[in-house]
Structure 1
Amino acid sequence: MTRTGFAQADAMGAALRARLGPKPALTLWSSPTGRALQTLAVIVEHLGLDWHGARTDERLREIDVGSWTGRGYDELHQEGGPLLDPVTGLFLRRADDGEWYDDIARRLEGWIADHGQTPGDKLVLMHGTSSRVLRGLLTGAPARAEHRAPVLDALPQGSIALIEDGIETCIHRGDGTAPAS
């Protein structure tokens, strides 16, 4: 995690502490990636919770861009033309061996089916693109035709979205740039 990411996680933790108080009754969920778990650890320190009790699930991971992994957007643009919609930040095309938004929706629908109805509040730490799809699913947003999945607008990195009874409220707006996707 970068210093910027650490500062964003610190701000998120402080915002949640101000809203929820110490030791709120939350089930902690995270993508299994190292940076997601590091972020969660910083956030929940503010809440007086132990991140070691977090549950991880592969289905909360970021979009799989296949053979594009590790390559820059400029390189991919030069190779195959426009990559990202300049308005939405969503991919205009997919890697031949990567996921598309409906693939993300399917795996997240499985996570919701397994854990969405369990009692109690959940704090879910995941990644930009996948979180846009999860937020779309949880709010009942219509599918975007070109992406075949409900994908909500991007929030700046370091933001916290609260979804309650299908309604989303941004309870902390991060100071990071909106994610590239």
Structure 2
Amino acid sequence: MSKSIFLLRHGQTVFNAQQRLQGHCNSKLTDLGQQQASAIGRSLKNKLANKSQWTIYSSPLGRAVQTAEIVAQQIGIDPSDIVQDPRLQEFCLGDWEQAYIPELKIMYPRLCEQKDWYLMAPNAESYYGVKDRIEDFLSDISVSDNSIVISHGLTGAVFRGVYVGMTYDEVFSQDLPQDAYFLLANDKISRIQCDIHSAMSLTV
């Protein structure tokens, strides 16, 4: 049986809103981030024929765990059943963790001309280091054939790239949505957009 994986990024965080880099450090979800997680959870609930067949795997970083708990509650899965897996955590961004992106752009005017500019941070984790841990996760026979994976922007891009064999440039040309998620199945990737505004009206 081939695996089916729903892959999502954590919701917007305080650092995301402030245009600060996070990496292995953490900040909490904003109100919008919580609404994004709720919307994805509701969408997933409608797509799972039998929730008991699915296992939620999360990066152990706080923003991913917070998102995973919201998603689990919306689906009707006990949050205590979430499996935290360090292979899913974000790139370490070395000396640039907690840095403000606008300040980095002033210091390095041509920084964002490269799509992988994040990895130029001194002491950043390498692309191949993250690729190796994602490959290890995907080949791990102990991981459920039906998985909901909560990860991060850059690591999620590598995850999708590994799954379908993208080139390095293709990996870093992907968008990193917080209002959409992806189904990885049968060697294909499908994007599923969520209506955050609808979810917001339901929470008023």
Q: Give me the TM-score of the superposition, normalised by structure 2.
A: 0.73
Partner residue of 1:140 out of 141, 165, 175: 165
Matches within 5 A, 1:6-155: 6-21=34-49, 23-85=51-113, 90-91=116-117, 94-115=120-141, 118-144=143-169, 150-151=171-172, 153-155=174-176
- Distance, in Å, in 2 between the alignment partners of 1:41 and 1:153 is 26
* Amino acid paired to 2:127: Y
Q: RMSD between aligned alpha carbons? A: 2.5
Mapped contact 1:141–1:151 kept (Cα < 8 A): no
Partner residue of 1:172 out of 193, 198, 203: 193
CA 1:99–1:119 in structure 2 vs 1: closer, same or farther (change >3 Å)? closer
Q: 5+ unaligned residues in a row in structure 1: which ranges?
A: 176-181
Structure with higher RCO (Cα < 8 A, 6+ apart): 2
Mapped contact 2:54–2:144 kept (Cα < 8 A): no
- Distance, in Å, in 2 between the alignment partners of 1:99 and 1:142 is 19
Q: How many residues align?
A: 169
- C-alpha distance after superposition, 1:53-77 (max 9, x if no partner): 1111112111111010111112112
What secondary structure does 1:81 align onto? coil
Mapped contact 1:66–1:98 kept (Cα < 8 A): yes
- C-alpha distance after superposition, 1:31-89 (max 9, x if no partner): 00111111111111121101211111112111111010111112112223333248x5x
Mapped contact 2:39–2:194 kept (Cα < 8 A): no
- Distance, in Å, in 2 between the alignment partners of 1:174 and 1:61 is 26
Q: Percent identity?
A: 28
* Amino acid paired to 1:99: E
Larger mean Cα displacement after TM superposition, 39-48 or 105-114: 105-114
- Distance, in Å, in 2 between the alignment partners of 1:152 and 1:24 is 35
Q: 5+ unaligned residues in a row in structure 2: which ranges?
A: 1-28, 197-204
- Distance, in Å, in 2 between the alignment partners of 1:99 and 1:27 is 28
Structure with greater helix share of residues = 2
- C-alpha distance after superposition, 1:113-167 (max 9, x if no partner): 325x7452100000011100001111222333xxxx8446114213110000110
